[in-house]
Amino acid sequence: MTTRNIHAGIPFTDDDAAIAAALENLSIPTLMLSMLHMTGDPEIIRGELKPQGLFLNEVQGYMSEEDKAEVRRLALKVICDYRDGGCKLPPPPGPELIQEMMTWLVCAEVPEEYIPMVLEEMELDGIDARQVDFSGLSEKARADFPVVVIGCGQSGLLAGIRLKEAGIPYTIIEKNPDVGGTWYENSYPGCRVDVGNHFYCYSFEPSDHWTEFFARQPELQAYFKEVMERHDIAPQVRWETEVLGTNWNEDSGTWSVNIRSANGKEEVLTARAVISAVGQLNRPKLPDIKGIDSFEGSCFHSAQWDHSVDYKGKRVAMIGAGASGFQIAPTIAPDVAELTIFQRSAQWMFPNPDYHKKVGPGVQWAIQHLPFYGRWYRFLIFWAGCDGGLESARVDPEWPNQHISISENNDFARQMFTDWITEQVAGDTELLAKVIPDYPATGKRTLQDNGSWLKALTRDNVELVRDDISHITAKGVVTADGHLTEVDIIVFATGFETSKFLFPMKVTGRDNTVLSEYWGDSPAAYLGITMPLFPNFFCMYGPGTNLASGGSLIFHSECQIRYITGCIKELIDGGYSSMVPRQEVHDEYYQRTQKELEGMVWSSKAIPHSWYKNSEGKIHVLSPWRLVDYWTWTREPDIAEYVME
């Protein structure tokens, strides 16, 4: 018996009217590709009806309303015929046609070098190719290789899933009482993801359930919980337990992992390998403002939102307005008496009218039932955020006025973003002067915006203050001009300790080398994963792996865990006790990464503050690499690059 490809859709018997209603919500170009799967007829995409362009978050491909209506009319017949025929699929399209479909959907050639990565990402064949095959290794050899994973956010959970599939014993240590990491901790009002959810989810998990295109925090946390339950990972997690430190034992080739549970009890676990999955935006950073402890009202960090404090009808100060503050302010503004936002730097924002839009029921139905609809939809979002953004982030050394923009493309983005801001502020020149950033576009994390931020700023009860803060008193916030803003609550939306990787754990490797001292605030790792002197210690979302120009961290995590499980397989298979990257391999990668980063917009000297930069203004958190390169480099480890002992 052959099993049905899970992406081919569940057979259905819905009536014509229900199907017609579902079609109203769909991405029309994506629907047309599903029609091709249902009929096997490539002429569907070879006629006049086609998308005219691709732009981030634009899933309709700029088709006219008439054309969309015509496609819906044709689709209804195709889908009803398919249903009436018992939902049987003709033979799948061959590789050439698949490539034609890709190119057609994104209105640009998908270069040959991308095809294997995209096909794997889409899983059209229903095969999860990112699983490393451990079947050749004996059960005993695997059982003798316990692994400790630190953190149960999206990457730690993924590590657990992959280790379980591989038959490797593992324990996940999580400081919180539940799964989700960032999506557990950040429960502030308005918290939501800003990467399209049909792509911001595991490639091997269904994506038919999202209720919003950019889901809010509770839905994201629930997603990770559900995935955890489906894979039965929870029994291997030690909740409310913190890793204090880990020590490498050369003689036994093991790590001793010191943990402390909620009741204060300390314990030592022994592991052959440690996977750090602690994230980069994990430890809240409070600003170094005088008098911060003297405030008599309630105050808390955005990532530690105090839900026992009722902000309704209160006077609130929000210090800092990056990605978090940008979501908080519009959400709380209608309910507070006054909101004063202290923002040091203005933020560039990207127009996305659909940012808060609900996913229509038709989308959920289509992902469940229409062959490969969900897979092509994933590809559509993936491709728009793939490597194009990286090129736009590259500095053109010949381009003038680098403090304004760094290339022609970048100048175009600046113009587009400026127009978007200007048209919303309509004539309020004072506000306009405060909200147009004075550094190149995309130099910091560009925020998704549907207009709610500027709308909030124009409310009578909201004030945006761009003056420096002098200090905080018992009553409120004092700016450099001596003005005191009296408030009841202060929210610090001031970001995270991003250069202190793995802080505050003490990781002690070979020769008693302590990782935090070895790194300082210039953390580095080969492929963002491995470090010399720290055998069998692997990072997920490690140094140099944050994505500032597109992609999704889940994509990166899937690359990293495949590489890490590949390393574990090599260790077990070869009977090795340890592996570390060769110093020269690590150093060459670091130099290459640094050189690349220096030529990108994020390093612009016009940006004095950004969480991308360390104390010397250098960047160690971001990846300057194309997704296709990172994917290629992490497909499997090359043990020639490692010292295997």
CB 356 within 8 A of CB 214: yes
Closest contact distance (angstroms) between CB of 327 and ligand NAP is: 6
Q: Which residue has the tokens 């008193």?
A: 473
Name the minimum Å distance from CB 385 to ligand NAP: 13
CB of 192 to ligand NAP, least distance (A): 6
Integer Cα distance of 595 and 587 in angstroms: 12
DSSP 256: E
Write down the least CB distance from residue 606 to ligand NAP, Å.
12
Nearer of residues 216 and 569 to ligand NAP, judged by Cβ? 216
Residue 413 near residue 442, CB atoms below 8 Å: yes
| Contact between residue 346 and residue 438 where contact means Cβ atoms under 8 Å apart | yes
Q: Which residues pair with 290 in a beta bridge?
A: none
302 or 557: CB nearest ligand NAP: 302
Least gap, CB of 288 to ligand NAP (angstroms): 6
Instruction: Tell the smallest beta-carbon distance from residue 356 to ligand NAP (Å).
Output: 12
Q: How far is the CB of 190 from ligand NAP (least distance, A)?
A: 9
Q: How far is the CB of 214 from ligand NAP (least distance, A)?
A: 8
> What H or E segment, with its residue span, contains residue 422?
helix 408-425
Least separation in angstroms between residue 382's CB and ligand NAP is: 17
Question: Would you say 7 or 613 has its CB closer to ligand NAP?
Answer: 613
Q: Give CA–CA dist 25/23, Å, rounded.
A: 5
What is the identity of the amino acid at 442? Answer: T
User: Which residue number, 27 or 327, has a Cβ lying nearer to ligand NAP?
Assistant: 327
Distance in angstroms (rounded) separating the CA atoms of residues 73 and 69? 6
Q: Which residue's CB is nearer to ligand NAP, number 349 or number 539?
A: 349
Distance (Å, rounded) from C-alpha 364 to C-alpha 212?
Answer: 11
Instruction: Say how far apart CA 68 and CA 240 lie, in whole Å.
Output: 51
The footprint of ligand NAP (CB under 6 A) covers: 192-194, 281, 287-288, 302, 319-325, 327, 343-345, 445, 493-495, 609-611
Q: Residue 116, SS3?
A: helix
**β-strand pairing of 489-492 with 298-301:** parallel
* 344/506 with CB nearer ligand NAP: 344
Nearer to ligand NAP, 258 or 450 (CB): 450
State which residue, 267 or 467, has the beta carbon closest to ligand NAP: 467
Residues 6 or more apart whose CB falls under 8 angstroms from that of 517 comprise: none
Nearest CA among 323, 103, 60, 56 for reference residue 199: 56
Q: At what angle do helices 95-106 and 28-39 cross, to 10 degrees?
A: 160
Tokens 């999860």 map to which residue?
A: 128
Question: Which residue type occupies 7?
Answer: H
Which of 451, 420, 452 has the alpha carbon at shortest distance from 437? 420
